[in-house]
Amino acid sequence: MTSYKELGLVNTVDLFKKAVSGGYALPAFNFNNMEQMQAIIQACVETKSPVILQVSSGARKYANQNLLRNMAKGAVEYAHELGYDIPIVLHLDHGDSFELCKDCVETGFSSVMIDGSHLPYDENVALTKKVCEFAHSQKDYVTVEGELGVLAGVEDDVSSEHSNYTQPEEVQDFVGKTKVDSLAISIGTSHGRTKFKPEQCTRGPGGILIPPPLRFDILAEVEKRLPGFPIVLHGSSSVPIEYVEIIEKFGGKLSNSVGIPEEQLRKAAKSAVCKINIDSDGRLAMTAMIRKVFAEKPDEFDPRKYLGPARDELKKLYAHKTVSVLGSAGQA
């Protein structure tokens, strides 16, 4: 049994309280390897932003749970080395079983998500409550995120063909029965780089897809029913067109890519939304730079020479998100 405090990590309780009252959202950046983690910590130290390091079940399988735990500990020490001790959370993204959440709690995670949104309502309540009871009973309180509503799209092991908006009339009952610390809701965000089908969008100059707006009416109703309660948005990458164009210029095929406009995310971050998940944007930035290096230097085979530029671009992206989108810069 490893407590997250032994690793220098924190849970989300105080961070979310501060974010809700301060009108900003914490960045929740997914990572799978060293370069992604370095870029996240560099950007958040530079902008003095708290950060949530997110690990999916797929990332645990890919990188090994023991290595990931020690990378999180290393992230805390790295931030200190860079000169500013930002608050860092290690969070399980889209946990799909009690056993997985339990294992993460026991191996140093400071926060876990149990995603029972695909289950019938009563089963979602029962599963989420079970995880909360275990996580909250630890010597060092581990925070739990639940979910109501289903996001469309594909991300690692999470896949859904259709989305179902969160029903505001369910949120009070769900939070009251489960005792979750935060709630992920569905208001039109989506997993992956194609968050909407072309027929759901309009076309801007140059044929650029313009997505439908988020359902801020649902968000407002949830806030009304759960005043001050921490709300989470998943699937909130903006899918920057510049990265899509670089990838396609150098041989990639990413047709119909479309994300969530950053101005809508900034609006959401000023509400009770205090955690915004961003994964696909990082994947696009990294892939764009790697493809560029390979195309311009076909004789290059040193991983440092293509992962280094990818890491630099990731840092630039993450810093932009904390400053201009989430409003979390200067809040550490």
Q: CA-CA distance, 46 to 83, in Å (whole number)?
A: 9
Q: CA-CA distance, 76 to 318, in Å (whole number)?
A: 17
Q: CA-CA distance, 134 to 128, in Å (whole number)?
A: 10
The answer to whether residues 129 and 137 touch, using CB atoms and an 8 Å cutoff, is no
Q: What angle do CA 86, 31, 128 make, to 5 degrees?
A: 85
Q: Which of 277, 283, 272, 205 is nearest to 244 (CA)?
A: 283
Active-site residue identified among 93, 115, 279, 281: 93
The answer to whether residues 9 and 76 touch, using CB atoms and an 8 Å cutoff, is yes
Q: Report residue 69 as tokens.
A: 């735990």
Count CA atoms within 13 Å of residue 125 on its CB side. Answer: 11
Beta bridge partners of 52: 28, 89
Q: Is 93 a catalytic residue?
A: yes
Question: Which pairing describes strands 202-203 and 209-210: parallel, antiparallel, or unpaired?
Answer: antiparallel
Catalytic residues: 93
